[in-house]
Homo-oligomer: A and B are copies of this chain.
Amino acid sequence: MTAARDRGTRAGKELDRIVNFSDGVFAIVITLLILTIQVPDIPAASAAQELPGRLLELAPKFLSYVISFLVVAVYWMAHHRVFRPMRGCDRTLLWLNFLFLMTISFLPFPTSLLGEYGDQQLPVVIYAANFSVASLLLATISWYATNGHRLTDPEQDEREAKLHLIQGLAVPAVFLISIAISFFSVNAAMYSWLLLLITDPLLRRIRSR
């Protein structure tokens, strides 16, 4: 009995550690993003006239910074939602989570690429592809953990798990659609990502009917 509880406590501790580790990666990535924007280098003599213009030129970089910041926030919440019902972890979960974290910690590169060449199609496709993979991995994690209550409480509501799965698949759907859009208009593709901010409340409303 005590051994079982001990094992339970240990499994919970392991899970806490992987969740904390993931939160650390999220916090570092979200904070490193600003390093993708460099302060313009202007000679002191002409700083007064040139500075406003040079800062305005950075607008696409600020835009890609803000997009990436919000996207990380969306994924932090999704990760949160997926791990909340879990009661334990195993080797497969650890590896799936590490692969997911790789797509998150990779973010400063596509963000920088988008800020530099946001008018090109390739950076938009790379950005969207990276997050499609991220969402597919997160959906896999959710499926793996809840399937047959492998790592979740038996009392856990299965409908909740299914909602997570649909939510998890809605994100790559948005990104894949945006790749299609990017063939017509690169800007429209980027703005379509804003749909991500509303898919969640939307799905929530649909379910509660």
Contact = CB atoms under 8 A, between A and B. Distances in A.
Interface in A73-102: 73, 76-77, 80, 84, 91, 94-95, 98, 101-102
Contacts of A31: 25, 28-29, 32, 105
A58 to B, nearest CB: 9
A84 B95 CA distance: 18
A109 B34 contact: yes
A172 interface: no
Contacts of A14: 80
B21 A76 contact: yes
Contacts of A183: none
A66 B25 contact: no
A194 interface: no
A51 interface: yes
B24 A23 contact: yes
A6 to B, nearest CB: 11
A66 to B, nearest CB: 7
A74 B107 CA distance: 22
B106 A34 contact: yes
A17 B27 contact: no
Contact of A24 (B27, B65, B94): B27
B51 A120 contact: yes
Interface string A49-74: 00110010000000001100110010
A30 B108 CA distance: 13
The 7 A-B residue pairs with the shortest CB-CB distance, nearest first, are A24-B27, A28-B31, A73-B98, A31-B105, A39-B112, A25-B27, A34-B108
